[in-house]
Amino acid sequence: MKNRVVITGIGIVSPLGLNRQSTWRSLVAGESGVAPIASFDAEGYKTTIAAEVKDFDAASFVGRKEARRMDRFVQLGAVAALEAVEHADLSITEENSTRVSVMIASGIGGIITLSEQVGVLGSRGPSRISPFLVPMMLPDMASGQVSIMLGARGPNYSTVSACSSGADSIGQALEVLQEGDADVVLAGGSEAAICPIGVAGFNACHALSTRNDDPKGASRPFDVGRDGFVMGEGAAVLIMETLQCAIERGAKPIVEVVGYGSTADANHITQPAPEGEGAARAMKIAIHKAGLQPDEIGYVNAHGTSTPLNDKYETMAMKGVFDEEAYKVSISSTKSMTGHLLGASGALEAAITSLALAEETIPPTINLHNADPDCDLDYTPNVARQGRIDAALSNSFGFGGHNASLAFQRYED
């Protein structure tokens, strides 16, 4: 019999706040974290807006020396992990360290460090390249650094599946815990790609919104006026553990993680499969593994990127999963407020889904004023909604045809 798995701690660093409480308050209030880009001069770029993490000082959490040896995505992941550990009241000791795993994903890794060092190479030559370039840019380094920082010696790796990375990390952690290969997993994702080459690259493939004159209104999932996603950055880490471990150490479960579905579109490097076929299969797998029926799902945190095809096909996928019941399910895209955190988006949205269950509150989809006729479900427009949720899904889909869906349930003794 597989182990039951619960979440006992949540850590978040996002464009809406530097911890889970401030992020959750802003989400429920329907606030946007999008603003003109402040981290570099974006004059001349097609897109000059993003959802950046503001007033972040990693040194105050991990020390100045260590912070200098971490790319920004590692810093964000490390701070989120520290908050999650504190929230869960988790102590990692010599006795339990080999049973504590770290799986913090990143879709892109240290692109800020890499781009800066390419500039050094061009202007000052190869002898001036930082010896920390390679360990700072590797996508697994948030997971590696957190493991070192905390002394966690269980399985340690980083999933890389584009914008599904964070969700896949949590799904992999679920399966490791269910099989008994660890007692505790710090699972999540971290991303920081808001830099000149990052923005220029996504502009080149026509993925970003160019609503530069209206930053807070730029991310508008399911709205007829949507024109692309808004880049975001940040991290979310969950403390996932077997129910037995949580009970033995007196931890209080927040929610139970009950299912994970992963599929491939095998269709196109950037476009989702027609009618959301792969996305629908991922949701069905997650629901089946959870031992639930589709009509038991009360909330879906949609991938909802604010791009034309994604929102349309995800809507079609949800109709394929829930049939006529699809119109009764509360849905929201919190990317309307946080922007798209790329490889960290699935982790952040899993954390938000967990809080929605625990707080009995569905965050809204803001900027939804004129719904696309092809997107005619209940997307919780503009205002949060109170109400008990017994089970929920969180969807993540990525370039390359990756699809991941996670199922959560209220914890019952």
pLDDT of residue 412: 87
pLDDT of residue 413: 80
Q: To which residue do tokens 């401030």 refer?
A: 22
Whether 315 maps to a domain, the answer reads yes
Per the structure, the complete domain to which residue 114 belongs is given by 5-248
83, 199, 226 from 336: Cα distances, Å:
25, 18, 11
The residues pairing with 237 across neighbouring beta strands, listed in sequence order, are 11, 188
Cα four-point dihedral sign 45, 47, 52, 54: positive
Q: To which residue do tokens 């092809």 refer?
A: 374
- 380, two tokens: 């919780």
- Inter-residue contact 54 to 37 (CB < 8 Å): no
Specify the DSSP element, H or E, that contains 386. Answer: strand 385-386
pLDDT of residue 1: 86
Residue 260 has phi, psi (to 5 degrees) of: -150, 125
Q: To which residue do tokens 């606030």 refer?
A: 31
Reduced to 3 states, what is the DSSP secondary structure of residue 396? strand
Residue 141 has phi, psi (to 5 degrees) of: -75, -20
268 is catalytic: no
Query: Active site residue: 195, 303, 375, 402, which one?
Result: 303
pLDDT of residue 96: 97
* Same domain membership, residue 272 and residue 242: no
* Same domain membership, residue 220 and residue 107: yes
- 305, two tokens: 């990127």
- 138, two tokens: 């590797």
Euclidean distance between CA atoms 276 and 367, whole angstroms: 23
What is this structure's pTM?
A: 0.97
Helices and strands (DSSP H and E) totals, the chain: 14, 13
Euclidean distance between CA atoms 346 and 356, whole angstroms: 15
pLDDT of residue 200: 98
Whether 175 maps to a domain, the answer reads yes
pLDDT tens sequence across 157-175: 999 999 999 999 999 999 9
Whether 255 maps to a domain, the answer reads no
* Encoded amino acid at 17, one letter: G
CATH number at 309 reads: 3.40.47.10
402 is catalytic: no
Q: Is 267 exposed, middle or buried (0-12, 13-18, 19+ CB in 10 A)?
A: middle
Whether 74 maps to a domain, the answer reads yes
* Same domain membership, residue 356 and residue 264: yes
Residues of the chain with pLDDT under 70: none
Instruction: Decide which of 185, 220, 248 is a domain's last residue.
Output: 248
The residues pairing with 10 across neighbouring beta strands, listed in sequence order, are 238
Reduced to 3 states, what is the DSSP secondary structure of residue 150? helix
Reduced to 3 states, what is the DSSP secondary structure of residue 355? helix
Instruction: Decide which of 222, 248, 274 is a domain's last residue.
Output: 248
* Same domain membership, residue 270 and residue 231: no
Q: To which residue do tokens 């340690």 refer?
A: 156
Whether 254 maps to a domain, the answer reads no
Whether 253 maps to a domain, the answer reads no
- Inter-residue contact 216 to 146 (CB < 8 Å): no
* Same domain membership, residue 322 and residue 281: yes
* Same domain membership, residue 172 and residue 66: yes
* Same domain membership, residue 265 and residue 243: no
Query: Active site residue: 163, 195, 245, 375, which one?
Result: 163
* Same domain membership, residue 376 and residue 271: yes
* Same domain membership, residue 163 and residue 17: yes
Euclidean distance between CA atoms 257 and 243, whole angstroms: 10
Query: Active site residue: 87, 195, 340, 375, which one?
Result: 340
Euclidean distance between CA atoms 264 and 285, whole angstroms: 13
* Same domain membership, residue 307 and residue 235: no
340 is catalytic: yes
Euclidean distance between CA atoms 372 and 180, whole angstroms: 46
* Same domain membership, residue 298 and residue 214: no
169, 287, 289, 403 from 284: Cα distances, Å:
19, 5, 9, 12
Whether 404 maps to a domain, the answer reads yes
Q: To which residue do tokens 């196109």 refer?
A: 268
* Same domain membership, residue 270 and residue 139: no
Whether 373 maps to a domain, the answer reads yes
Instruction: Decide which of 218, 248, 278 is a domain's last residue.
Output: 248
Structural domains of the chain, count: 2
DSSP state of 161: B
